[in-house]
Structure 1
Amino acid sequence: MNFRKLLFTAFAGCILFSCDSDDKVTNVVQDNVETGAVLRTVEIVENSIPIAIENGQTIISGEARLSIIIEEQDENEGALLESVDVYTTFSDGSPDTGDTSMAVTEEVFLGNIPASLFTAGPFGLPRLEFTLDGSELVSAVNLTPDALFGGDTFTTRFALNLTDGRTFSSDNAGGIITAGFFNSPFQYITPVVCNLDTNSFVGNYLIEEITPYVDGPTFADGSVVEVSVGDTDTERVFFTPNYPDYCTTPNDFKLLFVCGEIIIPIQESNCACSSGADFFGPTDAPANYDANDDTVFFVTFLNDVQNDCGPPAITTYQFTKQ
């Protein structure tokens, strides 16, 4: 992952481009690139399915749901919105726990949301408060709560249908759309998790990289960061520069505490060789945690999932409470 070579090449390319091309390329892009549409994530209210085991029975929490606020934007300020199709897919992340042999693992159609259910947001664009209960997701893929365990996931996908016949979703949206300013992934991964005290694994932590560097430290190695509760009770987030040898702007990094394991969801880097989307992600052997002891814990993740700057590498950080 050679950022140094990348930065030099990019700088040299900019010099050559400015000497030879004027505004011709800009004009070609404006004349030929088709304008699309996005479903921007305004807010994630809830996004987890907490479970508890009582008397041998798995109980789904009443707060288990995907609840988000989304906003549609197109070249006609929302006037092209026709409807949104909703799908879900189940993934068994705990094959040794729970019987999911009857599960539907192909994508399941959940329904269609017509444009009439959207309302005008503060900028005049169509907005929707969308909620999908955990019990609805479980039933849709032909499961019962007893089949679930931490690490299982439901992926809810949206397909945005326009009045001119076009459809946009996660399969035809680039990194600049799914992450960054537009924040329009068109899909949301809802994990099955075990309850976690919101006072645990929060506060100031010293972070230390204990695996070999990948072209320098991945985070601000040796610094103290503040870990706080994220969008759900089992999500934690902290801010740190990504590849501080090259980029100094802090970026958020999310951790999911999933029934004894710390899972790193797919997320972006703000220091990469191209878009930086889907840069960090989970490994096959995540770090474990003790829910009763948050003094020291480890975070293991896959670095450069998409082979953006080099081959993927496994990176581990130690977190020590201060």
Structure 2
Amino acid sequence: MKKIINKLLIIALVFSTVMSCKDPDNAIYDVFDGVSYGAVIRTLDRVSTNYNIFDLNSRFEIVVEEQDEEYGGLLDKVNVYVSYTDKTDDGVNNSKAEILLKSIAASEFTTSANGLPSTTIAATFSEALAALGFTIGDGNYNGGDEFDFRLEVVLTDGRSFSADDASGSLQGSYFKSPYAYNVGILCIPDSPITGDYVINMQDSYGDGWQGSKIVCTIDGVENYAFLPDYWSTGLGPFTDGTATITVPAGASTVVWSFVAGDWPSEVSFQIIGPNSGNVIGDFGPSPVEGELALNLCNE
């Protein structure tokens, strides 16, 4: 059975308790004594997490649900904050400090399939620019720069929880509760940029991608890039590799996407632009499934 020894952690916790009429003095009671419970925002769907500099209506949009010790009964509101990080190396720093973009009251939430309060949080490119004081077309924002959205859960008892309260376990694959989202400004032109796209691929474990793959669909025809799977080929190790996908002259539609197989947490890759030689997409570990947004600003 694949990777049993290295990857499967089995924790057996056995308690032996002697019952008596006196209060128990087992250590477990000391462990949980004084424990308080908070709240989490869980990401159900990342509908869109990048802006297109050519499209003021492009959106940052996610679907979330809230959980607290009363299964959402303590939710008062969720505050949405936004800031801006200037990553353009031109000697001028146009970064913007964080401001409150909006507050979403508990009454605006619906009920998710999990029986918890759920809502869609969205902001268009133009809304984010205006909120931070940018003038449309003023040249103070550029492709490659970044908006940073942060969520804050406020409970009816006055407590609040945000990114600083999220441990590694909350940010992992089960809870998906980072509270914070980086939204890049990409340059996605109306017509495809043709040429050879080089894809550098890595697998942190060294046994290949095990079903994960990059798909470049050119006018309806799928082209694939991936690292071979050691477990099916018996070859390897497969820690890295390079592939090239050519978008031919005259192509009318090009869509890049990622399909996750087993252990996508080991998968990373970079896509190099055909003209500039710059990295136009850097993904992983655990790339998000679905369409890949490439930064074609300098192509």
TM range (shorter): 0.5 to 0.7
Paired residue secondary structure (2:33): helix
**Which of 258, 264, 273 is matched with 2:282 structurally?**
264
**Which of 51, 56, 65 is matched with 2:59 structurally?**
65
Cα separation, 2, equivalents of 1:161 and 1:37: 9
Cα separation, 2, equivalents of 1:125 and 1:95: 44
Cα separation, 1, equivalents of 2:35 and 2:270: 37
**Which of 68, 74, 79 is matched with 1:80 structurally?**
74
Check conservation: 1:156, 1:189, Cα contact below 8 A: yes
Query: Relative to structure 1, is the Cα distance of residues 81 and 139 closer, same or farther in structure 2, using a 3 angstrom cutoff?
Result: same
Aligned residue for 2:214?
A: 227
Aligned-pair distance for 1:188? 0.9
Check conservation: 1:237, 1:253, Cα contact below 8 A: no
Cα separation, 2, equivalents of 1:22 and 1:240: 41
Query: Relative to structure 1, is the Cα distance of residues 134 and 91 closer, same or farther in structure 2, using a 3 angstrom cutoff?
Result: same
Unaligned runs of 5+ in 2: 1-5, 18-25, 217-253, 287-294
Q: In the TM superposition, what whole-angstrom CA distance separates every residue of 1:27-80 from its partner, at most 9, and x where no partner exists?
A: 44443432211111111111111124xxxxxxxx15421111110111101000
Cα-Cα RMSD: 4.3
Paired residue secondary structure (2:53): strand
Question: How many residues of Structure 1 are paired with residues of Structure 2 in the alignment?
Answer: 233
Aligned residue for 2:22?
A: none
Aligned residue for 2:46?
A: 44
Cα separation, 1, equivalents of 2:133 and 2:90: 19
Aligned-pair distance for 1:123? 2.6
Q: For 1:40-189, what aligned pairs fall within 5 Å after superposition?
A: 40-52=42-54, 61-96=55-90, 101=94, 103=95, 105-144=96-135, 145=137, 146-189=139-182
Identity %: 29
Unaligned runs of 5+ in 1: 1-6, 53-60, 210-216, 242-248, 270-287, 293-322
Cα separation, 1, equivalents of 2:141 and 2:256: 19
Aligned-pair distance for 1:95? 2.7
For 1:141, the aligned partner's letter is L
Check conservation: 2:163, 2:180, Cα contact below 8 A: yes
Cα separation, 2, equivalents of 1:176 and 1:198: 42
Give TM-score scaled by structure 2 length.
Answer: 0.62
For 1:158, the aligned partner's letter is L
Q: Which structure has the larger Rg?
A: 2
Aligned-pair distance for 1:147? 2.4
Cα separation, 2, equivalents of 1:183 and 1:257: 29
Aligned residue for 1:34?
A: 36
Query: Relative to structure 1, is the Cα distance of residues 75 and 123 closer, same or farther in structure 2, using a 3 angstrom cutoff?
Result: same
Query: Relative to structure 1, is the Cα distance of residues 18 and 177 closer, same or farther in structure 2, using a 3 angstrom cutoff?
Result: closer
Aligned residue for 2:185?
A: 192
Give TM-score scaled by structure 1 length.
Answer: 0.58
Aligned-pair distance for 1:195? 1.0
Paired residue secondary structure (1:106): strand
Query: Relative to structure 1, is the Cα distance of residues 222 and 78 closer, same or farther in structure 2, using a 3 angstrom cutoff?
Result: closer
Cα separation, 2, equivalents of 1:42 and 1:219: 28
Aligned-pair distance for 1:82? 0.5
Aligned residue for 1:218?
A: 204
Query: Relative to structure 1, is the Cα distance of residues 163 and 222 closer, same or farther in structure 2, using a 3 angstrom cutoff?
Result: closer
Aligned-pair distance for 1:81? 0.1
Cα separation, 2, equivalents of 1:219 and 1:290: 33
Aligned-pair distance for 1:257? 7.9
For 1:41, the aligned partner's letter is T
Paired residue secondary structure (2:166): coil
Check conservation: 1:80, 1:162, Cα contact below 8 A: yes
